Amino acid sequence: MSTPGWYYRLSSFFKEKFGEKVYKIPLDAGLTCPNRDGTISTAGCIYCYNPGFSRSALSREQEKQQIGIRAQILLYQAEAEKRIRKDSANYNKALSDHSNFMPRRKYLAYFQSYSNTYGDISYLQAMYKEALETPGVIGLSIATRPDCLSASVLELLEIYARDYHIWLELGLQSSHDRTLQFINRGHGYNSFAEAVQYGHEKGLNICAHIINGLPGESWEDMLETARRLSSLHIQGIKFHQLQVLRGTHLEKLYLQGELDLLEEKGYIHLLCDQLEVLRHDITVHRFLAEVTSQDFLLAPHWENSRAIFAQQIEVELKRRGSWQGKKCL
């Protein structure tokens, strides 16, 4: 790994590994989640409204029918390359004939909506295979819950990891069991730590998702989550601020005045504190949650985009004379 700078960006990691930028294509495989379908609960996590934070889940809801994985990938690639290269001729061709579109960039197929290892193994295998066989796709990024990793899924991903670049994105949100219970995650911290170990043994890259500002958590609790993650075999992290989406249980708590949300400026300081205790070789995939439509978001309404936010974090780390991992023991 070369010098990561103030913090280790995922884009730097891709540049080092592949020599160029790699784009992630959000996909909807038509799956659900055991915390929604009644296997664990029907209520879901208290903050969850999947179409609110996943464009692919939003498309499923809006279009009421799902298009195939290959078609989702080719359309995304065509749109992305039209934007990058202003290549409208190629784009128009892709719209009329998916099968012949040839991307010029590298892509990861990102199975984003709901729990993407939760389903019949032959169905999952067909979805992953279809993605990997689409031109331009160099690997998979699979978002799921830590308690949805069967031996057969892990074995399948282990085989893919020999030839492709595979990320497993595991939702944790907090390393504190009392918080996980309060937000109705339906699993504990140990389940996450075990899943990381299994994934690591299979040669997968693991990215942990956490949410800052969950009810009842102190600054120190959130720092402790970053410290605990540093002690596990993870290679990536996605930070999110708690957002109140309409129609969720969290909305009720918010309207009853039972929630203290983070403020934008304080969040920058918190992230810098967390980066300082985070291992220097863990890639940062994201600092900020963004909703698919402002209509879904009750609070907080922050001003800055992800890019500006990332700049502010660099400025703050620079001001401190600090960097990712400076206080990691």
Q: Which 205-234 positions form the footprint of ligand SF4 (CB under 6 A)? A: none
Q: How far apart are CA 201 and CA 154, in angstroms?
A: 10
Check residue 50 and report its DSSP letter.
Answer: H
Query: Min. distance of Cβ 72 from ligand SF4 in angstroms?
Result: 19
Interaction of residue 48 with ligand SF4, rule CB under 6 A: yes
Pick the binder of ligand SF4 from 31, 33, 214, 275 (CB under 6 A): 33
Query: Min. distance of Cβ 106 from ligand SF4 in angstroms?
Result: 28
Pick the binder of ligand SF4 from 26, 44, 103, 146 (CB under 6 A): 44
**187 vs 202, which CB is nearer to ligand SF4?**
187
**91 vs 114, which CB is nearer to ligand SF4?**
114
Interaction of residue 36 with ligand SF4, rule CB under 6 A: yes
Radius of gyration of the chain (CA): 19
Query: Min. distance of Cβ 136 from ligand SF4 in angstroms?
Result: 28
How many degrees, rounded to 5, is the angle at CA 297 between CA 296 and CA 303? 135
Q: How far apart are CA 117 and CA 160, in angstroms?
A: 14
Total residues in contact with ligand SF4, by rule CB under 6 A: 11
Distance, first Cα to last Cα, the chain:
19
Interaction of residue 116 with ligand SF4, rule CB under 6 A: no
Please state, as a whole number, how many other Cβ atoms lie within 10 Å of the Cβ of residue 157. Answer: 23
Question: Do 259 and 308 touch, CB atoms closer than 8 A?
Answer: no
**74 vs 244, which CB is nearer to ligand SF4?**
244
Query: Min. distance of Cβ 47 from ligand SF4 in angstroms?
Result: 7
Contacts of 75 (CB under 8 A, 6+ apart): 67, 94, 95, 98
* Window of 32-40, 66-74, 221-229, 318-326 that interacts with ligand SF4 by CB under 6 A: 32-40
Q: How far apart are CA 123 and CA 21, in angstroms?
A: 30
* Window of 9-17, 33-41, 92-100, 228-236 that interacts with ligand SF4 by CB under 6 A: 33-41
Here the tokens at position 252 are: 């009720």
Distances (CA, A) of 214 to 26, 184, 254, 293: 26, 12, 12, 22
- Hunting for tokens 């690997």 — which residue is that? 139
**103 vs 171, which CB is nearer to ligand SF4?**
171
Q: Where are the alpha helices (DSSP H) in 164-263?
A: 177-182, 189-201, 219-230, 249-255
* Window of 42-50, 69-77, 259-267, 305-313 that interacts with ligand SF4 by CB under 6 A: 42-50
Query: Hey, what amino acid is at 25?
Result: I
Judged by the rule CB under 6 A, the positions of this chain that interact with ligand SF4 are 33, 35-36, 44-45, 48, 50, 114-115, 145, 171
